[in-house]
Structure 1
Amino acid sequence: MNILSEKIAVLGAGSWGTVLANLLTDNGHDVTVWAYLDKDAHELNDQHTNEHYLPGFKLNERLKATSNLKDATDGANLILFVVPTNVVRGVAEQLLPLLKESGNKPVLVSAAKGLEVGTYDRISEILASVIPAENHSGIVVISGPSHAEDTSTKDITTLTAASTNLEAAQYVQKVFMNSYFRLYTNQDVVGVEMGAALKNVIAIGAGALHGLGYGDNTKAALITRGLAEITRLGVTMGADPLTFSGLSGVGDLIVTATSVHSRNWRCGNALGHGEALQDILDNMGQVVEGVSTAKVAHELAQKKGVEMPITDAIYGVLYENKPIRETIVSLMERDSKPEFDY
């Protein structure tokens, strides 16, 4: 394949999908964004903007958009999923007959971060369960410390491209890389996806601490012990513990748990200020993945017998209306224990 002129479909016209599509267009690729709503596709095509998600940002005029999935994906060498976790399966089910009809076998890439409610599936597992191997050329996950707002201004960004198919990961690496956007390959898909999903839960907790007025000591404690929880559950699911010290582990956790750009952090911050969860979600205008992931992580940890006190506490606040300050006190009053459990 000619890496300089790939045909790429980006499924999802939110902030991250739009920024990645624009980056790929700047890289010289033929990119089409699939937007769920006609009006969003028209704005991208006619105004070269996406004001709802990226106010004031001007897009490359060569970037195209459509609300027709077939038109977006026809002949694509790479199809990038950047839709909320709860709709990945539905979009994949719509895509499958189109791939069968065309005979096209694109590389499937996920830039979504979450775990599916009910099945506990990671995004790559959803894609693999819906789209058979004979209809694609590999499944790759890209993840790491990245906010759309920073990437849009060409701030230096480094991510991981993870796949059990190293050739597919290297292909994605070449397609995306430029002077400010760097990808490293990794074959631990489980670890990369678990880190990507679970850090959103910890970020809600970090935001809540900020909203309650706690200082840096407390936030650092939460992030560090949160990483320990993420690692415990990830390793139980088959991940390499080393992955959680990398970009998709501690790197993504730091950026998500400390930045006002993070929807999960903002959700937690608002909770800390006393706002009701449903009001926060209604006013956010974008999906807060950590809310649904908290439920999945809580259930999965119970099923696997993994201790995750911070995650359980956040679940209690989100789903059982437990008071935040009392929940923090209960965490601090737990029995003493070693820092590292082997």
Structure 2
Amino acid sequence: MNHARTVDVGGEIPYTIAIGPGLLGDGEALARHVRGRHVLLVSDSVVAPLYAGTVREALHTARPDLAIGTFILPAGEESKTLAHFGHAIEALATLGATRDACVVALGGGVVGDLAGFAAACWMRGVDCVQVPTTLLSMVDSSVGGKTAVDIPQGKNLVGAFHPPRAVFADTDALATLPARELRAGLAEVIKYGAIRDARFFQWLEQERQALLAMDGQALALAIAASCEHKAEIVDRDPLEKGERALLNFGHTFGHAIETEQGYGGLGNDNLNHGEAVAVGMVLAARLSADLGLAPAADADRLETTLRDYGLPTRIPVGLAPERLLARMRLDKKNLAGRLRLVLWRGLGRAEVVPDVDESRVLAVLSG
């Protein structure tokens, strides 16, 4: 194993997150989590040409007996569909994958979510190893076992909880990450400071230039801190019955924006996930201030920080507030048809607020 930081995730199905350089080529470490002889390597059209060969060669060197199949998605959120999920299942069938097979998810959040969902469903559940290659997937979607695909009515509405056997976050992969995708990942990093760690938020304010310049040490620290925060919450609430909902700060607003825009963000003007979450966090903070839950100054500070990181903080032009509110009504956190939102009491103190008055939400969306 290469020298790497590790974060342990507890619970009924514990696993370890390895963070550091050179992990994509560490065949022994990767193969250690493959119990059988069938591996389906799932990636996308951008990541596969860069890294799929490295991972295949590393696995074959460590385990020459492995039968490795490959399933490549078109890159982009538009591919996270039931149709492509079906194609992944067909790839497992073609491979002859048995119940001790392993799905290796090599890519960003779209790949991780879809591959994890396929692993959860094939033969009622086979192993999945997450190998995230974007900052956003390293600090968020690869950790915690939430897998899903999108449908036209909403994001991540079809899915399952399926914890991975291991996560390998190779920081070398970030060298090929476009600047826009780096910033999108940093939005999720900033979220952890916003919801539960004001000191971490302050560190992010101070280290902005280093992180945007992709300083390796600063990025590794930010990834490890983010994963530690998520691991602590997931350990206590693996199925999102309570505290884990806090991780969705900004997401109800953000998902509504993504869905209303028709998803996207790769090579078009639609917001990608991290950008939509950045806008959503500002909206959640503004709503918290309007409801008298938190100081408006903290909302200002959050908005300034996100803007300093080059992230959007306003709803894109052309999205009707009433349509966004209708999308928010489909959010999975809602109960008995009432809006249930993650808001905050100020920096580092998020909480779930039930029964939020829709008129107040509409006012913020219109503001």
Tell me which of the two structures has the higher relative contact order, counting C-alpha pairs closer than 8 angstroms and 6 or more residues apart. Answer: 2
TM over 0.5: no
Under TM normalisation by the shorter chain, which class is it? Answer: 0.3 to 0.5
TM-score, normalised via structure 2 length: 0.36
Higher strand share: 2
